[in-house]
Amino acid sequence: MHGVLGECTVDSSKEEIYKKILEPLKGETIKGVKLTEDDQWKYTIKFCEPIEESAGVIQYGNWANNTDEKHTIGKIDNTHIKVGTNWMLLTYKDGDTYGSHCGQEHRHADIMLLCSSRLIGNTAVLEVNNEKETDCFYLFEIESSVACTSGSSNSSGDKSLRFACIIFITYFGKMFWGFY
């Protein structure tokens, strides 16, 4: 099943729900993030909307060779979303193919969103893993408040249930056992 909400295309109904969690990030763009201060490559990232065409992450640069290269790292029309407690993993697949390395497979970006009090906090390129034969990847870490509500233990239903249990125990504890 491929469905589209905004621009991201995912494979499952569960991921359709996860996309809704990302809605506050629509319209946000992260520009110029680098692996190291001296890195020749810069990255631009958008959330479930294209930078250009269907690119969700683009790599720019390689000034060391006096070129102005640009590579699509991942596309929003092949998105995968996983969630946990206080984190989300957004993966864009089907980027440009590698030239002579990584088995000439398509590039892909893994964007780890970690719980933060700000909509977009600290951003980092954690790893550019392109020295393997296969399964190469680009790993980004972004602090975001959207990740704080992604895990099942953070859902409002669970908080309401915990609150109801506390009230129940307190009320019946006073009534039957005389404590409070």
Residue ranges per structural domain of the chain: 3-149, 151-180
User: What integer pLDDT is reported at residue 64 of this predicted model?
Assistant: 60
Confidence band, pLDDT 50/70/90 cuts, at residue 95:
very high
Residue 85's CB is within 10 A of a number of other CB atoms, namely 12
Query: How long, in residues, is the chain?
Result: 180
CB 21 within 8 A of CB 152: no
Radius of gyration of the chain (CA): 21
For the domain 3-149, what is the CATH code?
Answer: 2.70.130.10
Tens of pLDDT, residue by residue over 54-80, are 999 999 986 566 667 899 999 999 999
- Taking alpha carbons only, the member of 109, 110, 79 closest to residue 96 is 109
Give alpha helix (H) positions in 4-127. 13-22
Tens of pLDDT, residue by residue over 145-176, are 999 975 544 444 444 444 444 444 444 444 44
In what side-by-side order are the strands of the sheet with 87-94? 29-33, 41-46, 55-61, 69-84, 87-94, 109-115, 137-144, 123-129
